[in-house]
Amino acid sequence: MRDSEYDLNQQLNIGLTGLDIEASEEQRFKLITLLEQLIKWNKTYNLTAIKTPQEGLVLHLLDSLAVLPYLHHKQLLDVGTGAGFPGLPLAVLLPEVKFTLLDSNSKKIRFIRQQIHTLQLDNVEAIHSRVEDQQELEFEAIISRAFASISDMIAWTEHLLAKNGSWLAMKGHYEENEVKEISLQVQVVANHRLSIPGLDAQRCVIELKRIG
């Protein structure tokens, strides 16, 4: 094993410990493989602005996994998933949960489908589509990470959320002005502050539900 590989594994272990997340050896291997594949594909397909494994570890893997304690659902839609975040890392750690990853960028969906095969994730489906073109699907929870404003997220996905479902908006920080723009028929249930090991920046996940 090269020193760089060891360092990356060591950093992942430290990060998971900092998030109080338990992961098997196989799951840790899959997370590192996902990160390596992202960096490799990125050289050709420009999937993300992140260029180094160390950046990707913090800003993609750990940032995605920080929301894990607040997921109590059996099926989730990751809307505007990009290259598969947070959906792919979460699917690795939650094999019993069904994840649907949706994005309109064909290159990114192609990457996700290859990772589903490479990582042998039988709990993930990738859909290449605009969210407004999906009408028949329904989800217990809809999660997004830097996808859109909260009001736009709700407006674009409301038809896909089950009656008692939840939206989970992963944000840099809680903005009162953004929250004030949401529909009167939707309320903030909780604002969970997230602490990402190795990242000196604010993160949170805002949970919302329909009223009534």
The pLDDT tens digits of the residues spanning 82-119 come to 999 999 999 999 999 999 999 999 999 999 999 999 99
3-state secondary structure the chain: CCHHHHHHHHHHHHHHHHCCCCCCHHHHHHHHHHHHHHHHHHHHHCCCCCCCHHHHHHHHHHHHHCCHHHCCCCEEEEECCCCCCCHHHHHHHCCCCEEEEEECCHHHHHHHHHHHHHCCCCCEEEEECCHHHCCCCCEEEEEEECCCCHHHHHHHHHHHEEEEEEEEEEECCCCHHHHHCCCCCEEEEEEEEECCCCCCCCEEEEEEEECC
Q: Does residue 4 register a pLDDT over 70? A: no
What digits encode the pLDDT tens for the residues 33-91? 999 999 999 999 999 999 899 999 999 999 999 999 999 999 999 999 999 999 999 99
The number of folded domains in the chain is 1
Domain limits for position 113 = 3-210
CATH number at residue 174: 3.40.50.150
What mean pLDDT comes out for the span 129-152? 93
Would the pTM count as exceeding 0.85?
yes
